[in-house]
Every structure is written in structure tokens, then in C-alpha cells.
Amino acid sequence: MHRFFILFAKSAFENQTFMNPILILLLGLAVVLFCIIVLKLHAFISLLLAALVVGALTTPDILYHYALSDGMGEDEALAYSKQLLSKRLVTAFGNTCAKVGILIALASIIGTALLKSGGAERIVRGSLKLFGKENAPGAFLSGSFLLAIPVFFDTVFYLMIPLVKSFGVRNPRKFSLYFMCVIAGGVMAHSLVPPTPGPLFVAEELGVDLGVMMIMGIAVGIITVIAGYFYALYASKKWNLPLRDTPEVPIKELEEMTEKPNEQLPSMFFSLLPIILPIILIAGNTILKSTLDDKSSILLSIFGTLGDSNLALLISALFSLYLLYRYSPNIKVFQKDIQAALSSAGVIILITAAGGALGALLQQSGIGETVKNMAGDYQLAVLPLAFFATAVMRTAQGSATVAMITAIGILGSLSNSETLGFHPVYLALAIGCGSKVFAWMNDSGFWIVTKMSGMTEKESMRFFSFLLLVMGFTGLAAVMILAKVMPLV
């Protein structure tokens, strides 16, 4: 088998007709699934091997054309095509680490501190008193949706997962429901509602007013969230998702925390501070950038510095460290808790970066140009075409934002409402919904959700990937109906 694979790869290098990006994508997918499911290898190793295979099958000619399509000059593209596979892999791995590495480490500290200090327990008690047990799923849905409008979904998930675990200890049978409600609420706002980068870029390219994009994005987002909630109800009844130990916080400690009197827990203010502070800083930075005309404003300068996601979470982590230190029995326990949080984060960072590297090397294989050509060959209706072109791109390389940017490159010329027969905002929304289909192992978010919740890869498909699939197709249906009954032209 090993010898056959070597001969096949050698033949592929010699005959570039084999080097179809779709074939490269399928081989990369096959390697990931074979290594994880059959060989039972660690996800980091499996993703790294898949990235190596994808990179090895991407010929210099493909790299050259990819570099040209990415805006490089001929000389620069030629130099790019001669890069060693190891350099391309390390660069892609490092780029993903640069984007999420510090965030994951700080988020792990914040989450651990909230759980260990009793801050999450205090928030849960306050939420139960305010909303009641029966309304907890609705609180998670609405809360994560609103938070994800100015804040990246990854950050929302980091901040909410301690609360989900604390709720889950009280009612383990509903842990999967609470967990999916956070995902369902937060994930669609990331692709439908500005100012997150994907919908912001698409709206600008299509000439859609940001106010219109926000209103319609929220409207379609609410419809998809409702569909996500019903899928969450179905999935939580059909499959059991146990609340598992994670290295940083054993379940036994969470259970012990539920028995503590309020006097032994932090105040509500200090418990909420590590969650609310980064949201205020990040959202404030985004809002001020889009509303203030005076770019030299001191307020904009302050929020522009403190509102950077890495710095905002660092400030939050410092407050959470104080909280943990204040309620730790001694310094050794405090140090042990921080060590566990960082150790857990390290594994997540490795897996996430490997998934990001696989996605980047898939992009270099020319999958974007292939999707663009396929879109030109088939005379489909515009909205389904936009949806499926984005969905193929998302499935191929993992990033929802990259998928949206690629799709708008394919369909950007269709921004005229007279040509479309409806407002171009619907085209933007169809692209946003398509970016949710299909999240799998080349998506860094897939691994963040998987590892921070203690799920297996198979469980992530059920409780994360299929959830996004249902919401994406529901969004497409809603957009097509709205475009028909309310064209806005």
C-alpha cells in the first residue's frame, strides 16, 4: 500500500493532468479521515500528514498560477512556485498560530479561572434566577447571537464555554442542547451581520448599504437560529453528548462548586468582568471606527489600541488571574491551575494551526480558480449559485471568510439590482449562508469547538458540522423566499 502510494504520487508529478485541484482536495480529505478513523492517529499528526500530501501534489505550475491569481507579479510568482514544501507548510502553520495562538492561550486561562474561582458558578446562579432553568437555551441563543455581531465567533465560544459547562453540571442531559445553542446563536452572525470581516467585505464589494446589510442579516440570522435550535433539540434527544473531563477542569470540581454557598463565590461584578471587558473593548473599537469621522480622536486611539482582540483578552486574562488567585486555597494550587490551562491550550493551538496549514495548502492547489470556472460553466439561478460556490470553497479550504471573499470574486459583477431582479443584499446573504457549509477537519474552528468541549471528531460532525449545514440551507431558503416576496427594488 505504501509503495503504491509512492508510485501514484510520482506519476502525478510527472503527469500534470492528474493535478486537478478537486482530486487533490479528495486525497487530502481521504488522508485525514483514514489517519483519524482507521489508524487512530492524533488529529495534529493526521492534519499535518494531509497538508504534506496536498502540498506535495501541488506542482510548481499550479503554485505559479495561484500566485498570479493572488495578485503577485510574474517574477514574484515564479519565486513563489519554487518554494520548498517545508517552507510553505511552516509559513501556513505559523500564520494560523499568529491569528489564534495567543487568543486560545488567553481564552483557556480566562475559562479556567472563571470555573476554578467560582466566577462561572456565580454567573450561572444569577442567570438561573433571572431567566429560569426553562429559558436557559433561549438565553444562550440570544446572548451568543448578539455577542457575535461585533466579536468573532471563536471569541464568543471561548467566553461562553465555561458557562455551558457549569450549566451542564446541573443538568447533564441538556449539556448538548446548551452547547449547540451557543454555536447556533453565534455562528451565523459571523457571516451575515457586519462589522465582522466577511459580510463587511461582501457588502462593500456589492455596494450594499451597511445598515441594510445589518438589518437583513439579523432578520435572516434569526430564522437560521430558530432552525438551529430545532436541530439542537433533535440532536440532543437522538445522541447523547456527555459532559467530559477536560485537562484544565475536572467535572468533580464543577460539581463541588455547585454546593458552595454564595458567600464563598466571587461577586457578580468581578465574575462578569472577564467576559464583558473584552466585548466592550473589541465592540467599542469596531463601532467607533465605523461611526467617528475624526480618525485622530483620542477615544478612537485608546479603543484602537485596547480593542485589539489579543490585547483585550490579555487585559481580561489579567483580571481573571486575580480572581483565580483570590479564591485559590494556596499558591501551589494557583500555579497548577494555570499550568493545566496552558497545557490544554497548547494542544488546541497545535491542532488548530495544523488545520489552518491544511486549509492554506488547499488554497494553493488552485481550488478557488476551479470553483470559479465551474460556476461559469453551469447556468444555475444566481442565489443558489452563490450559495453553492461559497459552500464548495468553504468545504475545500476551511475558512468561511476566505470562502466569502472568493465567492464575491466570482459573482461580484452581478451587483446591479436591475440585472438581478432583486436587491443585491440577497446575493450577499446567500454568500454568507453558503459559508456555513460544510465545516470539517480543515477548519480551525472545528478543532477549537471539538477540543474545548471534550468531543470526539465524530461527535463534532453531529453537534457542530451538521448543525451549521442545517442553518446554512435554511438561510438559503429564507433568502430566496424574501427575494421573491420582498425584492426591495
**Residue 354 resides in a domain:** no
At 305 the pLDDT is 85
Element (H, E) at 60: helix 60-69
At 104 the pLDDT is 78
For residues 104 and 66, membership in a common domain is answered with no
For residues 379 and 433, membership in a common domain is answered with yes
For residues 155 and 253, membership in a common domain is answered with yes
> Which residues are registered as beta bridge partners of 249?
246
**Residue 306 resides in a domain:** yes
At 348 the pLDDT is 76
> What's the structural domain count of the chain?
2
**Residue 93 resides in a domain:** no
Among 83, 113, 147, the domain boundary falls at 83
For residues 159 and 68, membership in a common domain is answered with no
> Which residues are registered as beta bridge partners of 246?
249
Among 28, 48, 83, the domain boundary falls at 83
For residues 19 and 129, membership in a common domain is answered with no
**Residue 94 resides in a domain:** no
At 40 the pLDDT is 79
pLDDT along the chain (489 residues), means of 10: 43 49 81 80 85 90 86 88 91 86 83 82 78 83 78 74 84 90 88 78 80 87 95 93 75 76 85 82 76 76 83 89 90 89 83 80 78 52 85 79 72 67 90 89 82 87 94 96 89
Q: What is the DSSP string of 137-149?
A: HHHHHHHHHHHTT
**Residue 355 resides in a domain:** no
Show the CA angle centred on residue 134, arms to residues 128 and 271, nearest 5°: 20
Q: Residue 119's CB: how many other CB atoms inside 10 A? A: 31
In angstroms, rounded to a whole number, what is the distance separating the alpha carbons of residues 343 and 384? Answer: 44
Q: What is the DSSP string of 395-422?
A: HHH--HHHHHHHHHHHHGGG--HHHHSS
For residues 147 and 11, membership in a common domain is answered with no
**Residue 362 resides in a domain:** no
**Residue 236 resides in a domain:** yes
For residues 21 and 103, membership in a common domain is answered with no
**Residue 360 resides in a domain:** no
Show the CA angle centred on residue 40, arms to residues 35 and 46, nearest 5°: 35
Nearest residue to 78 via CA among 99, 64, 98:
64
For residues 127 and 275, membership in a common domain is answered with yes
Among 83, 114, 143, the domain boundary falls at 83
For residues 371 and 335, membership in a common domain is answered with yes
The model's pTM is 0.67
At 371 the pLDDT is 60
For residues 13 and 127, membership in a common domain is answered with no
Structure-block grid coordinates of residue 416: 446591479
User: Which of 403-423 are b and which e, b meaning 16 or more Cβ less than 10 Å from the residue's Cβ?
Assistant: bbbbbbbbbeebbebeebebb
Give the C-alpha distances (Å, rounded to integers) separating 406 from 64, 100, 327, 393, 435: 18, 22, 49, 8, 10
For residues 67 and 156, membership in a common domain is answered with no
Q: Which domain holds residue 10?
A: 1-83
For residues 223 and 341, membership in a common domain is answered with yes
3-class SS of residue 290: helix
At 17 the pLDDT is 43
